[in-house]
Amino acid sequence: MTKILIIEDDRDFAAILKECLEEDEDLEVVKIIGSESEAMSFIRAGGLAGLDCVLVDLQLPVMPGDREVKSTAGIRILEETRGGQHFYGTMIVLTSSRSTEDGQRALAAGCDGYLCKHAPIDEIPMMLDELKIAIRGHVMMVSNEMRHVFFREDISAKEAKLMDLLVSGKGWPAIARELNYKTAKAAANIGDRIFDKLLTQQDKAKIEESGQKKREVALDIWKSRHAS
C-alpha cells in the first residue's frame, strides 16, 4: 500500500483528489492538512514515518482559519521535510503558481515533480493517471511550464541518499534494502548513472589516463561538495 499525505488548503480540491487517487486500491491518503503550522507540527511529531509520498501546495495559510495565503509556505514545508526530517519518499508540488521562480525554489528544496493545477478539463484524466505513476515510482512529473526548470542533470533526493550511504561504507545489498531497490545490481546500476552525472568530461578523461575507478572519483567529488 502506497501511503500519501496531502497538504492543501482547498478542501474541495483535496477531497476530490483523495477520491480519485483511492480509486486505485493500492493508494491510500492517510491525512489531509490545510495550513503550514499544522503541517509543520505533524512532520516534526514523526508523522512522515511510514509515508511514501507527500503532495503539497505552495500557497497555504500559515495558521488554520487564516484567509491570507503565503506563497513561501509550501517551500518551507519542503525544506523541513527534506532537510530537517530527511524524508526520501516522493514529494510533488501541486499548485496554481506558474512562476519560474517558484519552480526553481521548489526544485532546490527537494521536490520530485511540479504540477500546475487547473489543467484543461480534457487533460485531467491523463494528468491523474500520470500522477499515480509518479506517486508509486519516484518518477519526475512536471507541467509543461516548468520543464525548462526541472529537466536537468540534477541529483534527486533519493540519489543523494544513495551517495550518502556509499560514503558511509554501505554496500549495494544494504543500499538496495534501505532504498527499496529490487536487487543489489539495480542499486549499483542507479549508482553508476549518478556517477556519470557527477563526473565532468575532464574527470572522465583523467580516469581513462590514470586507471582510477569511476566510483572512487565520484565519491571524492561528493565528499568534497558535502563535507560537514
* Tens-digit pLDDT profile for residues 155-214: 776 788 888 899 999 999 999 888 877 788 888 888 888 888 888 888 888 888 888 899
pTM: predicted TM-score of the whole model, two decimal places: 0.65
**Residue of higher predicted confidence among 126 and 228:** 126
Report the DSSP beta bridge partners of residue 31.
Answer: 5
User: Is residue 197 located within the same domain as residue 218?
Assistant: yes
Note whether 59 and 74 are within 8 A (CB): yes
Do residues 115 and 221 share a domain?
no
Q: Pick the last residue of a domain from 150, 184, 209.
A: 150
Q: Do 100 and 63 lie in a common domain? A: yes
Q: Which pLDDT belongs to residue 228? A: 46
Helices (H), ranges, the chain: 11-21, 36-44, 73-79, 100-109, 124-137, 147-150, 157-167, 172-179, 184-198, 201-210, 214-225
Residue whose C-alpha is closest to residue 76's, from 89, 54, 59, 95:
59
Digit-coded pLDDT (tens) for 3-30: 999 999 999 999 999 999 999 999 999 9
* Closest-CA residue to 48 (of 93, 3, 13): 3
Q: Are residues 39 and 121 in the same domain?
A: yes
Question: Do 144 and 191 sit in the same domain of this protein?
Answer: no
Average pLDDT of the segment spanning 121-146: 66
Q: What domain range is 175 assigned to?
A: 157-225
Q: Which of 97, 122, 150 is the last residue of a domain?
A: 150
- Please tell me the total count of domains within the chain: 2
Cβ atoms of 142 and 152 within 8 Å: the answer is no
As given in the structure block, the three cell numbers for residue 29 are 491518503
